Amino acid sequence: MHFRTYLLVIFLFAMTPLMHATDYIKVNLYNGSSLRSVGLRIHRGAYVFLVDGKESAQLNGGNSVQLRAEQGKVVYTINGKQKTATGVAFQAQGHEEEFLLRPASQKLKEHKYQDHLIVKARGNALVLVNEVLLDKYVAGVVEAEAGARHTHEYYKVQSIISRTYALANLNRHSAQGYHLCDQVHCQVYHGKARFNDSIPLATKATEDLVLVDQDIQLITAAFSSNCGGKTLNAEDVWSQSRSYLVSVPDTFCLVMPNSHWEKRIPKVQWYGFLKERNFPLEDTTRHEANFYFPSDKNRYFSDTTFSIKSSDVRSNFKLRSSFFTVQDEGEQMYLIGRGFGHGVGLCQEGAIRMAALGKSYRDILHYYYTDVHLIDRKNIDFFRSEIER
Ligand SMILES: [Zn+2]
Ligand SMILES: [Zn+2]
């Protein structure tokens, strides 16, 4: 057994968490939407309303406050009175507290959030930051990103991935004064997970567990919808390789909804694209060639003498994956593809199937991520000091 692995095994059993998860994460809500005005209503519990850091009022279920940004200031209306402040905050007095946000813009949806809210203004846009316990945030992300119809075991998988991602990316928005945004740039978060009770329970069952590599660094827990039968190496898609993002075969996802796709592209567009890439089109035999992508996932799309990166073809024609073959159909090119997404790391539909077949979240994570460890996040420093010795 590898020395480090041996140490990990010993200490994983010997150590118990030193404390409970009390860490809060700051998430910017309605990021990028230039939200100017929003209504807040206390849904549950008791809040203290702070104006410029000073306690201003006690709020309970049903109480509401209107908030608007005006030239860098926050204009708030409470009990029919309108006032201005540099910043306001809603401080939850317990752990069951919830509030609703209803943006004035019809395009934005109302959501329910837990714990605290900090409100500032940048120009005429509100900056809303939800300060929320890590695992409540994780449960919200799992529901937003994975949906509400999966097995309990699969939700454990997604919880660990989401937690690992959040902790590995705490500096992503440090310049703006919060940890993460609520959009795909970070992880999609629409507030409280509320459509499936299994999600918060799965988050709780895996509390504090994170994925680390052999150097006890939090991993980049990449995942995509369906790998099409074989995952890709990180360097096949991105510039850098990662020891744990290594191609593995996957038969689990082949029976799932996103395993296959097809698309027809007018030949004019197809050749226009090849011409832009300096593909030698003067040779007429090439026009008749059946372009193909070799059956063993190759990174390059080619006709034997000239190649184009398949990810380039994918982004240009907005294809579901970069795993496909191309056939000449006369007026059109017929593309038959497999999978959905970049194909690196965990395959969501493969993992959903594995969980349904009774595999454990540990088996699933170790299947898709090579040579990783699942450890309690509070013990990371301890394990790091052990390998530095
Ligand atoms: Zn972000
Ligand atoms: Zn797959």
Task: Enumerate the domain spans of the chain.
Answer: 35-134, 260-338
How confident is the model at residue 326, as a pLDDT?
81
| Ligand that comes closest to the CA of residue 173 | 1
Nearest Cα to 147, choosing from 352, 358, 368, 362? Answer: 352
CB 352 within 8 A of CB 148: no
pLDDT band at 387 (very low <50, low <70, confident <90, very high): low
Q: How far is the CA of 190 from the centre of ligand 1 (A)?
A: 14
How confident is the model at residue 14, as a pLDDT?
39
Say if residue 153 is exposed, middle or buried (CB neighbours under 10 Å; 0-12, 13-18, 19+).
Answer: buried
CB 181 within 8 A of CB 174: no
> Is the pLDDT confidence value at 296 over 70?
no
For residues 323 and 34, the model is more confident at 34
Residues β-bridged to residue 181: 28
| Ligand that comes closest to the CA of residue 346 | 2
How confident is the model at residue 24, as a pLDDT?
93
| Ligand that comes closest to the CA of residue 31 | 1
| Ligand that comes closest to the CA of residue 187 | 1
Q: How far is the CA of 64 from the centre of ligand 2 (A)?
A: 47
Q: What is the pLDDT of residues 198-239, one digit of tens each?
A: 999 999 999 999 999 999 999 999 999 999 999 999 988 888
Q: How far is the CA of 172 from the centre of ligand 1 (A)?
A: 7
Q: How far is the CA of 137 from the centre of ligand 1 (A)?
A: 14
Q: How far is the CA of 9 from the centre of ligand 1 (A)?
A: 35
**Alpha carbons 181 and 258: distance in angstroms, whole number:** 28
| Ligand that comes closest to the CA of residue 259 | 2
Q: What is the mean pLDDT of residues 10-38?
A: 71
Q: What is the pLDDT of residues 33-83, one digit of tens each?
A: 999 999 999 999 999 999 999 999 999 999 999 999 999 999 999 999 999
What is the model's pTM? 0.85
Q: How far is the CA of 244 from the centre of ligand 2 (A)?
A: 16
pLDDT band at 281 (very low <50, low <70, confident <90, very high): low
Q: How far is the CA of 189 from the centre of ligand 2 (A)?
A: 25
**Alpha carbons 97 and 92: distance in angstroms, whole number:** 6
Q: How far is the CA of 342 from the centre of ligand 2 (A)?
A: 11
> Is the pLDDT confidence value at 320 over 80?
yes
Q: How far is the CA of 345 from the centre of ligand 1 (A)?
A: 20
Q: How far is the CA of 224 from the centre of ligand 2 (A)?
A: 9
> Is the pLDDT confidence value at 18 over 50?
no
Neighbours of 138 (CB within 10 A): 33
| Ligand that comes closest to the CA of residue 252 | 2
| Ligand that comes closest to the CA of residue 297 | 2
Q: How far is the CA of 226 from the centre of ligand 1 (A)?
A: 24
pLDDT band at 285 (very low <50, low <70, confident <90, very high): very low
Mean pLDDT estimate for the chain: 88
Amino acid (one-letter) located at 188: V
Q: How far is the CA of 350 from the centre of ligand 2 (A)?
A: 5
| Ligand that comes closest to the CA of residue 172 | 1
How confident is the model at residue 302, as a pLDDT?
55
Residues with CB under 5 A from ligand 2 (ion): 227, 250, 253, 347, 350
| Ligand that comes closest to the CA of residue 166 | 1
Q: How far is the CA of 254 from the centre of ligand 2 (A)?
A: 7
Q: How far is the CA of 28 from the centre of ligand 1 (A)?
A: 8
How confident is the model at residue 69, as a pLDDT?
98
Residues with CB under 5 A from ligand 1 (ion): 181, 185-186
Q: How far is the CA of 290 from the centre of ligand 2 (A)?
A: 27
